[in-house]
Structure 1
Amino acid sequence: MHLITRNWQAKPLGMYLVEAGILTLDRVEAALDEQQKSGRRLGEILVNRGWVEQQTIEYLMEKVVLPERRVVREKLSHPDEIDRYSNYNLLNSIERVSQIEQANHNSSLLFDLPFRELQVCLYPKRSIRFLLVAVLCLILASIVGQFSVYYLPDFPLRDSFAILFNVDAELNIPAVFAGFALLICSILLAIIAYGEKLAKRSYVNHWRALSIIFLLMSLDEVIMIHEKTIEPLRDKLNTSGFLYYAWVIPGAIFVVTLLLAFLGFLTALPAKTRQLVLIAGTVYLGGAIGMELVGGYYAELYSQYNITYAIITTVEELLEMLGLLIFI
């Protein structure tokens, strides 16, 4: 058996990231300087700085770095076998890692999960483009329908069209679309929870809880369960003005409680993901609770049956849908 006669060592992680075009050498050197000072792992530093996603590090380690190091340990009989293996594996993995990084760039949550038993590939940019067009079409149809009801003379199917596309109604096209978008979020969160469990990471239960919450929100969006609590709560709490739609009180309490319970979870997310999740939540709640406060105040003074109230509810639903798109 021929033994390896030259000194061959596996490249450090930083060099793989540079060769894949994911990081510049300057950034790797900056991270290495911080590593010397803090003693933390290089991958952890890169993720915390928002330069690389955690999933990318894991994929590269599993598919390239660790296999090459095993090759060195096993001491292949011919040195050129090491080179062939290394070059082949790296070239085939660089494209894959670059695809993951591109997905990270276009999505607040990464759903291309490189776990041993689970791999789900989505195309965030294409999906978001489709969903955004759908949202704008639904909003436009709702505006046209409401405008025709209040400003145009009656014509065949006018009221049916307005009801079918009214974003503030239940069991119609916008309601089903919003419910479906929430259901997609629930499914994706469940996939992440399963992947986190396979990887034996923390916060698995937090991902599961989010999946369940989005599932319940999906159901509520279609049949508007929260709307049925307004009058009982209003009578019991004697609310008016901005609290005319009294469900916002328990709703706001739930949001604050959830935020406090998930503080550790949020801080553990990669910086970019955390930022986008917070933006998505702010936009969504700005519609669901913020505009609901405005709508309640206006409805008590002037009723719900006018174009101004229709505009308020349209803005509310638009913010909710945009929040979901940012989250996805």
Structure 2
Amino acid sequence: MGLPILLNYLQSPAHKSFVNFDGHPNGDAMDLGWRNKYNNPNQPLYSLGEMQVLGAQYFKDAGNNIALGAQYDNERDVWVATGHMQYAAIVKVGDILTRSSQMGNMGDSGKSFGAHAHIRMCFVPKGTPFIWDALFNAPRVNPYDYIYTTPEMDVLDMKAMPNDWASITDDDSLVRQDGKFTVTFADGLNVRKKPSVNSERVTGLSKGQSVIYDNYIDEEGYRWVSWIHEGIRVYGARRKLDNSEIYGDAEFLSKEPSRPVSDVGKSWTPKSFPLKLYPQSTGGTNYGDSNGDRSYTILSEANGRVQIQHKLFDAPQNKVWVTKSDGKVG
């Protein structure tokens, strides 16, 4: 049996925190600190999604550490480790967690200079057996690019949860393929919940209607194309496997990777002064405070900060970085 299937993007394990970009400026991990306004250095830490506990162990550097895993898409599992917890995890290996499941508390166990949650993550081929060495040796990805805050949280400088998650199926027989399917059958086509003529009908497509699909599967003598419809995976018969009946045409697509939404070129107005100015988008020494009273144009954007041209400060080409949430866009 595989890992649980994520039902949405990963979310912050610390619900009242901030992203400390100075902790790992190269993006190989992410630190979440506690907020003075809440005085919560030992706040609860929750599961990042619908995940299984893969490991829970104390390490000299990472302290009390817990590793969670889930099916991220049809080809990859995601592993996420959270370190420096105050005590050992309050859940055990094998437990299936939901987003409301507490796994421990923020702390400073191990090699740490203060209470925080240290997060590292990686993607592995679907079904990869978990061992700690596999996690530690796998290529890291920047957690900031995959973990989000929700409206119920207060996580400073973390991106808001998108609303375009597409749940995957637990059917290992699906074959990845991006294409456009257009119905040619005069009577139209039934769209079903499973790849079976006896499965529940979800909706229908008329002759000439098209959909973008991302997988196909051969079942019951039919080639079925599959896509996400209103948050669930559905199936439509494209043809019989012997080609005796064809219900639609498929045009294969070369899918371009999605591009993040950018505010470059828009105006940015500080919410208050003095304004914190930085030399780069992550880490680095704070240039210091600078007063001002006008809007700026966003020149670049990365890691929760935006670059502006601040003529009142002596920086290279007067270009400095500011925390995006310290101002208003537009």
- TM-score scaled by length of structure 1: 0.22
Which structure has the larger Rg? 1
- TM-score scaled by length of structure 2: 0.22
- Which structure shows the higher strand fraction? 2
- Which structure shows the higher helix fraction? 1
Q: Which has the higher contact order (CA 8 A, sep 6+)?
A: 1
